[in-house]
Chains A and B, each alone.
Chain A
């Protein structure tokens, strides 16, 4: 049954006064992760429902938003939900999603990084310059590596200014936004652009896995996810800890498999107009890879735990012996590093980088994507997954409005409204929590 988690009270402690009133009790119950109190799938669903009613919504708003965007644009333009457009949307979303995953690091600390748009741009410029056949003509892997290292160094520098000198991150990264834009323009020259001819780099965003390879990659990913979740729950049962019921574990893995099958089916549909084009784009695999690594780092390592702790209560973390400056600096470094990956994807998609790159809008979209996905602007709450989902919403709006031939002006306004809704949900959830304490 539920509530089995109380540390086995001995008979001598029976007289211990029950300090919670009935109301407080039901509230305390709501706050528990439903997996831990539920004994069966149906109970789990009921517990989840009561959590949602209590204002703990998780990724629900963004999933609802995705459904709304799909239904709305599909009813306005029948082309929206075709395989070709959906794959296109996934590729468009990749830059937003990866950039937003970087921004999640800054937001979790309760900070913000406004520079990562142009840091991503600079990554693209470094990559393109190093690959130039008439110039340095480096191998693709070395060029990508150096581009990412440059971005990581920028993050470390900005992070140090925030943590060691004590400047507000808003100001430091605003200066970064201007400075790295300047550096980018300086390298590219007035109105300049650099083409990328390296096929490996260009294939990141434009190349596809073969249909068979797509299935294999999907099954391998779901398989690893399934084995890990299954073993984790089995370990908890073995240790005598409260574990989610078997049915729920199976349901979770089944859900993952279903999602994977749908994505691969869509991607493997021939979407070519003249020549057949099919297969999962490499970039989708890359986004899933980044998501998996950052989810592990944030959820299962000391560093990740400290990032959450600092965002929740920096003073408590300091008193627990956490090196605040070090953790913050690393988080800013990873934030810029991830932006570098987004820059590589961007350059790969356009097969070039030019002064038309708009890092200012991109970074605002990244912040919006993270918040729309469910990451709190107030620190301490958020996941890499939120960045990915939010990025898909933002790309969906841009894509759908593009299909309807609506202007960039109205796209900005609609995106702004979606952001406001997301921040409102964040603020309301927060208020609900405080009231529930």
Chain B
């Protein structure tokens, strides 16, 4: 299960556990007359990266917002660890252990790394316990081997895009998220920074977290994902292990909802 991202082939095909961490069944969501999601089914197991692919407007963002408690689906069932749940607010999602890493909205530029990682959940006695928080933040970053930041007391404004993404991910880990949802984590990042963030995503899954990664970038998808779920016009047209797919199939599914191609037996290592 703990494959090295850089050198090894993609991880072994996921074993279908009987009860995934998160199970979606028949999720529907409308915005007025527009049907954003139509009967979406999805299983998200722990310890795996589930890539969520689809063209613009396919419903990727709506789906993750339904899981994160920002939108409420009209109908359908969400099970968490086998129990049916209703996730009404981001707070409730966090209570279950669902943390979302948003592309731009996650961090306060004027606060430093420690302050951002503990935002909303500060440790406090008479006054804020800065030393305790700083120690925990430092340990979490060290565990994830985020070593490119000079000081965890520097304001987030001074970080590069990749470092910000790493801080946001480390925040989810610090709060012991069971499921980490990432919205285009590598958009607007350079080549090296993208590699660093993807490595971090992989490490997250290897530590046992479930990861949902929304991505347009098929390079990223084939590099880290264990399974790929493709949305087309609000319908889930395919959920398959990465090993059974190649780029062309995913592109076909994203653009037309079907693929006539046979699955390429060759694992897509060229990514």
A187 to B21 alpha-carbon distance, docked (Å):
67
B contact residues around A10 at 8 Å (CB): 145
Q: Which residues from chain A contact B148 at a C-beta distance below 8 Å?
A: 16, 18-20
A241 sits at the interface (CB 8 A)? yes
Residue of B127, B142, B147, B158 touching A31 (CB-CB under 8 A): B158
Asked if B30 is at the interface (CB within 8 A of a chain A CB), the reply is no
B87 vs chain A, min Cβ distance (A): 14
A9 touches B145 (CB 8 A): yes
Q: Which of A19, A36, A317, A322 is in CB contact (< 8 Å) with B162?
A: A19
Is the beta-carbon distance between B124 and A302 smaller than 8 angstroms? yes
Interface size class of B (residues with CB under 8 A): 35 or more
Contacts A33-B154, A240-B135; A381 near B128 (Cβ below 8 A)? no
Q: Is B153 a contact partner of A302 (Cβ separation < 8 A)? A: no
Interface string of B56-82 (1 = CB under 8 A from A): 000000000000000000000000000
Stretch with Cβ within 8 A of A (4 or more), from B35-43, B102-110, B220-228, B248-256: B102-110
The residues in B between 185 and 218 inclusive whose CB is less than 8 angstroms from any CB of A are 190, 192-193, 195-196
Q: Does B138 contact A (CB under 8 A)?
A: yes
- B-side interface residues toward A, CB under 8 Å? 90-91, 94, 100, 102, 105-111, 115, 119-122, 124, 127-128, 131-132, 134-135, 138-139, 141-142, 145-155, 157-160, 162-163, 190, 192-193, 195-196
Nearest CB on A from B57, distance (A): 23
| A226 at the binding interface (Cβ < 8 Å) | no
Binds B, one of A21-29, A59-67, A71-79: A21-29
Q: Which of B128, B138, B158 contacts A301 (CB 8 A)?
A: B128
Alpha-carbon separation in the docked complex, A437 to B132 (Å):
28
Q: Chain B residues with Cβ under 8 A from A32's Cβ?
A: 150-151, 153-154, 158
**Does A37 sit within 8 A of B, measured CB to CB?**
yes
- Write out the residue numbers on chain A whose beta carbons fall within 8 Å of the beta carbon of B110: 308, 311-312, 380-381
Q: How far is the CB of B90 from chain A (nearest CB, A)?
A: 6
CB of B235 to closest CB in A, whole Å: 29
Shortest Cβ gap from A105 to chain B (Å): 15
Contacts of B120 in A (CB 8 A): 317, 320-322
Q: How far is the CA of A242 from the CA of B151 in the complex (A)?
A: 9
The verdict on A409 contacting chain B, using a C-beta distance below 8 Å, is: no
Quick check: B90 and A302 within 8 Å, CB to CB?
Answer: no
Known A32-B153, A321-B121; further 17 A-B contacts with Cβ < 8 A: A5-B150, A7-B138, A7-B152, A13-B147, A19-B192, A19-B196, A24-B160, A31-B158, A32-B150, A32-B158, A37-B150, A239-B132, A241-B138, A308-B110, A309-B119, A313-B105, A437-B159
Given known contacts A5-B151, A36-B151, A380-B108, is B119 in contact with A305 (CB within 8 Å)? yes
